[in-house]
């Protein structure tokens, strides 16, 4: 059952003044009802990519130099501000890592959700109130008036994140961008929020771009995964395929470096060096200074993100950007 593409990012380039190349040609595709995990470390361009999609990049200093963001068949980079505004928040909504930072501390939760509904859907106050209660019920905040009349500071961390999610889904968006939505939460809460997101996705028919640095969490929730390194997607595949047969050295090492009780007594595989700064991205393949199999070509030429030849070992479309895809090098 092939769903059609809801969002297609094509060769997106974003620079920050004066010379930081934060996103260097990101391409990704999110289909309807897909949960797409975007995994990368801090500074890899995850948030810049999603901010560009959402249309909330601070320009300047940021600048989109090249690329297209096609949402429902239209390139949103070419739309008028007015049209963009009708998409932002309504068709594409966002859930942030720190709900405390994005909820307005001076307004009650009910007012903040109600504002979205009145602004985007033109509801009246009483309609908005009714719908707000319904949404709060959906996210597990109980459809009672207590939460409605609470200020953000009166809620716990988990409840704030639920309120944030309520706000994001209030206008029935087709795409929700969740930027590290569980990173600031405790493990048991994390599990609850992930379950909630999964449940909402099913009942509301949304697609989700799920951004995280944590491969474990992405494994839990995504069906498709893109790995981003230094502003470029280095690997993209279905979840099982990626976890079972990672092909890019970065993905491989990242998976091997995760501590696990089964690795007790052995040293973890670690990736030498550090994450490159966006203002001094290495030439050629950005990963080459840290890569155990790099050769001369890797510092000279940037490998394109291309499909692995279909064979008995490849399930679905599996894209990798490496000159030595398929080379054996790790036990």
Partner 1 sequence: MNRLVEIKNLTKVFKGSGFLDTGGKSVTAVDRVSFDIEKGTIFGLVGESGCGKTTLARVSLFLEKPTSGDIIFDSVNLCKLSTKKLKSFRRRMQIVFQDPNSALNPKLKIETSLSEGLKNLRVPQGERREKVEHLMELVGVSPGAKVKYPHEFSGGQKQRLVIARALTMDPDFLVLDEPVSNLDVSIQAQIINLLLDLKDELSLTYLFISHDLNLVSYLSDRIAVMYLGKIVEIGSEREIISSPLHPYTIRLLNSVPGKKRAHPTPGVATGEQAASGATRGQVKKGGLPFRGCRYFDKCPIRSSECLESEPELIDAGDEHAVACFNIKNPSP
Contact with partner 1 (CB under 8 A): which of 11, 156, 203, 279?
156
Q: How far is the CB of 257 from partner 1 (least distance, A)?
A: 4
Residue 16 is inside which H or E element, if any? Answer: strand 5-16
User: Is residue 98 a contact point for partner 1 (CB under 8 A)?
Assistant: no
Residues 6+ apart with CB under 8 A from 324: 293, 295
| 42 touches partner 1 by CB under 8 A | yes
- Least spacing, CB of residue 203 vs partner 1, in Å: 16
Transcribe 255-275 into DSSP letters.
Answer: HHTS--GGGTTSPPP---S-P
Instruction: Identify the CA nearest to 169 among candidates 139, 130, 193.
Output: 139
Report long-range pairs for 18-22 (Cβ below 8 Å, ≥24 apart).
Answer: 19/279, 20/277, 20/278, 20/279, 21/231, 21/278, 21/279, 21/281, 22/48, 22/62, 22/231, 22/278
Report if residue 217 touches partner 1, rule: CB under 8 A.
Answer: yes
Q: By C-beta, is 7 or 139 nearer to partner 1?
A: 139
- Applying CB under 8 A, the site for partner 1 has a residue count of 45
Q: Which is nearer to partner 1, 174 or 212 (CB)?
A: 212
Which parts of 123-152 interact with partner 1 (CB under 8 A)? 139-142
133 versus 308: smaller Cβ distance to partner 1: 133
Q: Is 73 in the site for partner 1 (CB under 8 A)?
A: no
- Cα 195 to the chain's mean position, in Å? 17
CB 69 within 8 A of CB 52: yes
Q: Which of 195, 196, 193, 198 is nearest to 208 (CA)?
A: 198
Q: How many C-beta atoms surround the C-beta of residue 7 within 10 A?
A: 23
With CB under 8 A as the contact rule, which of the stretches 197-205, 263-271, 295-303, 312-320 interacts with partner 1?
263-271
Q: What does the alpha-carbon distance between residue 101 and residue 283 come to, in Å, rounded to a whole number?
A: 37
- Record the tokens describing residue 178, joined without a space: 């969740």
Pick the binder of partner 1 from 3, 17, 186, 244 (CB under 8 A): 186
Q: Choose which of 17, 63, 134, 216 interacts with partner 1 (CB under 8 A).
A: 216
Among the candidate windows 11-19, 21-29, 126-134, 256-264, which touches partner 1 by CB under 8 A? Answer: 256-264
Contact 240, 247 (CB under 8 A): no
Q: Which of 33, 72, 84, 213 is close enough to bind partner 1 by CB under 8 A?
A: 213
The answer to the question of residue 194 lying near partner 1 (CB under 8 A) is yes
Q: 257: closest CA among 248, 270, 267, 272?
A: 270
If one asks whether residue 239 binds partner 1 (CB under 8 A), the answer comes out as no
With CB under 8 A as the contact rule, which of the stretches 30-38, 70-78, 251-259, 322-330 interacts with partner 1?
Answer: 251-259
Applying CB under 8 A, the residues found at the interface with partner 1 are 41-42, 139-142, 156-159, 162, 186-192, 194, 213-220, 253-254, 257-261, 263-264, 267-272, 274-275, 290
């Amino acid at each position: 059952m092939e769903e059609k593409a809801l969002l297609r990012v094509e060769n997106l380039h974003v620079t920050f003044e004066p010379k930081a190349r934060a996103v260097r040609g990101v391409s990704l595709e999110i289909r309807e009802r897909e949960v797409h995990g975007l995994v990368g470390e801090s500074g890899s361009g995850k948030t810049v990519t999603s901010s560009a999609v959402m249309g909330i990049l601070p320009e300047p200093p940021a600048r989109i130099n090249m690329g297209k963001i096609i949402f429902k068949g239209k390139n949103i980079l070419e739309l008028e501000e007015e049209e963009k505004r009708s998409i932002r928040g309504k068709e594409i909504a966002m859930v942030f890592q720190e709900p405390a930072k994005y909820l307005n501390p001076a307004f009650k939760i009910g007012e903040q959700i109600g504002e979205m509904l009145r602004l985007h859907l033109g509801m009246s106050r009483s309609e908005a109130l009714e719908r707000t209660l319904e949404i709060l019920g959906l996210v597990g905040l109980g459809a009672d008036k207590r939460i409605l009349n609470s200020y953000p500071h009166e809620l716990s961390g988990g409840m704030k994140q639920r309120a944030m999610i309520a706000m994001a889904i209030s206008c029935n968006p087709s795409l929700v961008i969740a930027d590290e939505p569980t990173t600031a939460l405790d493990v048991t809460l994390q599990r609850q929020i992930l379950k909630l997101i999964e449940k909402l996705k099913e009942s509301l028919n949304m697609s989700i771009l799920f951004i995280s640095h944590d491969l474990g969490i992405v494994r839990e929730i995504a069906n498709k995964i893109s790995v981003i390194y230094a502003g470029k997607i280095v690997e993209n595949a279905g979840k099982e395929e990626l976890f079972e047969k990672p092909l890019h050295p970065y993905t491989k090492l990242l998976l091997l470096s995760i501590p696990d009780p089964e690795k007790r007594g052995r040293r973890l595989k670690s990736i030498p060096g550090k994450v490159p700064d966006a203002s001094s991205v290495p030439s050629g393949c950005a990963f080459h200074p840290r890569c155990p199999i790099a050769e001369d070509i890797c510092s000279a030429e940037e490998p394109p993100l291309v499909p692995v030849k279909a064979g008995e070992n490849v399930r679905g479309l599996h894209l990798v950007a490496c000159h030595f895809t398929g080379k054996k090098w790790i036990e």
